[in-house]
Structure 1
């Protein structure tokens, strides 16, 4: 993408959206060529040959793929369509039918604070309200990166946004929509304590925020009212952990049993956000991360876009529902919240003392069947959380500046360290996903990058070859790092195959019959397609000095989720995987610690005299 560095961008939050370039739609030929290139390092010669044959069939002049791609081209030029990915994202996120708790939601662990729970929570609420009021007036400055404005569209999904379960596909209840134009007019949040839910009015009748002191009084009132733990079979938050179609049926049952339940759901779904107060302090950082990822599901509403979680000792973080929000948007939000003192946020928002805020319990009427449903959901999620192994890896003496001093891209350095650690822990190089932000495009979100290249394979081979000289290893490392940077740039510019080919598959599934293109496409059953997307490592980064850790669950039965915070002076990683393969994850963690030091030493000794 060519950036016009002389362009003057609007200073209004959403003022640049229509001026952003559209996401490029690749040609079939380009995507297929890249697909073969990307999948080849993971395949045997026989598997690659089968994949090539299917690609040739896919590209034939009379292939259904040609018809489907033509339909996508027409869609991309349709009035009101912002991107050829407009239907892809709802299908990808809202279409998934498994549970989103632990499987899809992600978390950030915030920087430390010397405040205790109520003060920290009140400060975070005040900061979020300040952000919300600025957003309402489009006064949140749009992000500009290397002279290019980035899409701010996702900010519309921060407040009063809730995912609604559906039998076939979920929907989302949001402001700035045809049904609810403009910013949210809600004045309340929902606070959880010991599985009890409470409405807390954080804005007065005239929309003016309560002061920090008022908010603290309201939170203390809620802690007092919720001091007795909610009965295990009446904490409806457990139901948000169910697979989506099952949760949709439970939600319908709630509304059918008692009309008051519809009002309770409405209170939760229209709330600006949730605040989850925990009644304990985490033993350590690792436990804090685990609790932010899943925690006690009685004390969560995982469908809510934003849930701020505050522990007894003031440790805090955020759990995010992913359908409308990516990490970069949440980082901007969190950096702004934590970048000023709570008192400054409160002052800037125009907060005024209005006394004790209105609070009210949010209660559901449940019959025996629903109580059994709640108990079963709680047990099933506790089982999944127990079946998930996690670990943290921290490097206090290595960061992005150290990688740059060695003449290498920081992200390339850590990604190659992951590959070396995986090879040593599991004995092979496996498919690896990395999320690449593409917000420089209209409604841009992310692109799927596949990390394994021939250069990566040669690099790990050289590192495992006892006969290879340091110069050979360094050369292999630098070649792999250069290729990594080049591929990342391709993804940033929309030159990537996976989402394009995936969307063609989804279009055929939805409209193949009416397009006259229902004939199965062999490409989607090839070793290349299946192997390239069968992650052994799923990686994503969140660079912010305001957070300590970032995390998400594993994406498959053999996958290690690798969420990393790579800063100039430090590097923190949160790992997750199914417990049956936990030993491999712990081996990966040990090998990663060793690999970072080994690669650092290898590059530092680059004297050219080996």
Structure 2
């Protein structure tokens, strides 16, 4: 189970923690009709009521794990001080906070101890959500080039997205379940049986056959949802009555209904016609594109949004907020993977509305990606959405390259939104644009593909592919900068009710020792010794992963106690004021992996100014990473060092393999 739950896609940790991912199974359930992606015989939320609750770790376990994670980052003197602060905290303020956290948790059995504080962490953050929070995931291209036409692919994805929406609201989306013994649990027979087990007991029925249902409480925020800027704390809004799609092109806003009054999906040929009408609109780019405001600092945006409402734009903004989702049509092709990453992660700001729960971005050559706002969830729902939409749009496309658009008057069906801007708002948009351009120009991205081997080979060596990838990042940073630094890898706790994420801390005494052994030019150990070190790294990483997946990390527990102290107006315990605590939460290496047939790759920005944002993929016969950085770091050299590290590791493994 821990293997599946290693990451929850793009769940961010700390004030701006790293994205992460969760590989979810793609399900098919019977023969779907044209209104649904499938019709599951097991109701979507069948397991939700009986999901186990997220445990709060024992305080002594949390402090032990915390000190273990600090060991490779501190010298002897620093560690001695941190260890003493930890002991004092555990015996005093920490025990009191822990006991109260446990008491509060017992009184709120409908949720998890981390859910409320985690929402607050996101919604109270005042930084721009662009780069700091919103990540992207790009769709794999359709295997048939002619279906990657911008109009054809947009139409098919919109239809498939609406099928997904209808499926989940009808309660007919297959529940998210991790099958440890699929021959027993991922079968029609088991599904026929489990649907008759009462929801209050259904989880236990799945558990008996080694199946683990996952939390699906975040899914309702996927559609018709947006983040509303408010002073000091934003709000999440969902209006399921919205039947229209929001389309952005050249900074202009368009809406048209994708459902009729009876709740049926509009004809695909009509959606195609409306999108063709938008693509052929020769209206110029607005002099003051409104989307830039969603990239602003949140309090600034909150004040400006109220000015927009006061200026007569309330109804237009309501249309934006309540749209099923946002489709961004870009009038240029993708040049290469680096251009793709920049465009899908932030773009020019002209043709985006970053506050929507998610946007599908479609370039002129049919390259597609999802950019999503992060506060409402950790991406589990987004990845399921990508998997289902990709599968449905490629296997059951609603239109083909030969399909003619419907002969309808799209000029009446498509409404172009207009916004009334006074001089103050125009000035604010110009200022936001200038700030946006300056910030985005400072971000650099580089990618790397390692073709010598991947998951298959590493598994034959009885090594964790994820552990080896993480080790390569540790080795690369040591090779480039001569340091071992705080590293973050997010792990889903979706096996629990309202679980969010926990942190895996890949930097350990084992990775430090192993990295130094590989990088050292003077006294390099033998291949057998290096192999032994690799095995130690893999074993320990597996332990950390299992602990995190079971809610037994230390980061969320410490976060919860600190949040509790702040909410009660208590003085911040000295433990939290330790420079070592600040350093371990300054995640220079923030990492996330994503592997799915529907997803080409994903990306995100560093979470600190002197960090790297490392998105990576582990495939059967190759490995790759997509890395971002600000000027403080050399991203091109880093990916070269990652490649060299993998070369060194595989050389040792191949030598051993040949001898064996």
Q: Same fold (TM over 0.5)?
A: yes
Equivalent residue, structure 2, for 1:460: 515
Alpha-carbon shift at residue 396 of structure 1 (Å)? 4.3
Partner of 1:401: 456
Paired residues of 1:214 and 1:356 also in contact (CA < 8 A): no
Is the CA contact (8 Å cut-off) linking 1:20 and 1:442 kept in structure 2? Answer: yes
Matched, 1:505 2:562: yes
Secondary structure of 2:107's partner? coil
CA contact (8 A) 1:393 1:574 kept: yes
Alpha-carbon distance in structure 1 between the residues aligned to 2:648 and 2:597? 26
Give 1:346 deviation, angstroms: 4.3
Superposed CA deviations along residues 301-321 of structure 1, whole A, max 9, x for unmatched, are 101111000001111111011
1:104 to 116, 130, 133: 133
Q: Write out per-residue CA displacement over residues 390-447 of structure 1, whole angstroms, 9 at most, x where no aligned residue.
A: 1111234533222212321111111111111111111111111001111111112211
User: 1:52 is matched with which residue?
Assistant: 83
The 8 Å contact of residues 20 and 151 in structure 1, kept in 2 or not, is answered as: yes
The residue that corresponds to 1:368 in the other structure is 423
Query: Is 2:267 the counterpart of 1:211?
Result: yes
Query: Which residue number in structure 1 is paired with residue 226 of structure 2?
Result: 162
Alignment deviations for residues 20-57 of structure 1 (CA, whole Å, 9 cap, x no partner): 11000112222112111111210111111111221122
Q: 1:42 aligns with which of 73, 88, 100?
A: 73
What are the superposed Cα offsets for residues 87-130 of structure 1, whole Å, 9 maximum, x if unpaired? 12112211211011111101011111322111111111011001
Match of 1:305 among 338, 345, 357: 357
Contact 1:212 1:343 in 2 (8 A): no
Aligned residue-pair number? 579
- 2:97 aligned partner: 68
Give the 5 Å matches for 1:147-226.
147-174=211-238, 184-225=240-281
Distance in 2 separating the partners of 1:148 and 1:161: 28
Asked if the contact 1:43–1:527 (Cα under 8 Å) also holds between the matched residues in 2, the reply is no
Aligned to 2:6: none
Structure 1 residues 238, 317: closer, same or farther in 2, change over 3 A? same
Q: CA deviation at 1:10?
A: 8.5
Aligned-pair distance for 1:257?
A: 2.0
Alpha-carbon displacement from aligned partner over 1:251-298 (angstroms, at most 9, x marks no partner): 11111222xx11111111111100000010011121011100000212
Cα contact 2:590–2:606 (8 A) shared by 1: yes
Maintained 8 Å contact 1:331/1:542: no
Q: Is the CA contact (8 Å cut-off) linking 2:442 and 2:631 kept in structure 1?
A: yes
Determine the C-alpha separation between the residues in 2 that align with 1:287 and 1:103: 19
Aligned-partner SS, 1:545: coil
> Does 1:255 pair with 2:319?
no
Alignment partners' CA distance in 2, 1:206 and 1:394: 49
2:651 is the alignment partner of 1:586: no
Supply the RMSD in Å over aligned alpha carbons.
Answer: 2.1
Alpha carbons 2:115, 2:500 under 8 Å: kept: no
Residues 463-472 or 9-18, more deviating:
9-18
Q: Which residue of 2 aligns with 1:6?
A: none
The 5 A counterparts of 1:326-337 are 326-337=378-389
Does structure 2 retain, via aligned residues, the 8 Å contact 1:40–1:528? no
For 2:515 and 2:104, locate their aligned partners in 1 and report how far apart those are by CA, in whole Å. Answer: 43
Shift of 1:528: 2.8
Partner of 1:179: none
Q: Which position in structure 1 is the counterpart of 2:157?
A: 124
Does the aligned pair in 2 maintain the 1:406–1:604 contact within 8 Å? no
Q: CA deviation at 1:67?
A: 3.2
Match of 2:488 in 1: 433
CA distance in 1, matches of 2:567, 2:657: 59
- Shift, 1:456, TM fit: 0.8
Matches for 1:328-347 after TM superposition, within 5 Å: 328-341=380-393, 344=396, 346=398
Name structure 2 gaps, 5 residues minimum. Answer: 3-39, 181-210, 400-404
Name the CA shift for 1:428/1:204 in 2 (closer, same or farther; >3 Å): same
Q: Does 1:78 align with 2:107?
A: yes
Q: What secondary structure is seen at the aligned counterpart in 2 of 1:420? A: helix
**In structure 1, the residue corresponding to 2:511 is in which secondary structure?**
helix
Look up the match of 2:292: 238
Checking the alignment, whether the CA contact within 8 Å between 2:176 and 2:213 is kept in structure 1 is yes
Check 1:279–1:608 CA distance in 2 against 1; reply closer, same or farther (3 A cut). closer
Cross-structure match for 1:94? 123
Q: Residue 462 of structure 1 contacts residue 472 of structure 1 at CA under 8 Å; is this kept in 2?
A: no
- Contact 1:211 1:346 survives alignment (8 Å): no
Distance change (3 Å), C-alpha of 1:226 and 1:431: farther
Q: Which moved more, 1:120-129 or 1:395-404?
A: 395-404
Q: Please name the residue that 2:19 is paired with.
A: none
The structural deviation recorded for 1:245 is: 1.1
* SS of 1:530 mapped into structure 2: helix
> Which residue does 2:50 correspond to in 1?
19
State how far apart, in whole Å, the 2-side matches of 1:421 and 1:149 are: 37
CA–CA distance in 2 between the matches of 1:266 and 1:341? Answer: 29
**Could you tell me whether the CA contact under 8 Å between 1:130 and 1:345 is conserved in 2?**
no
Q: How far off is 1:607 after superposition?
A: 5.7
Name the CA distance, whole Å, in 2 between partners of 1:497 and 1:341: 41
Whole-angstrom CA distance in 1 between matches of 2:119 and 2:63: 24
Shift of 1:381: 0.8
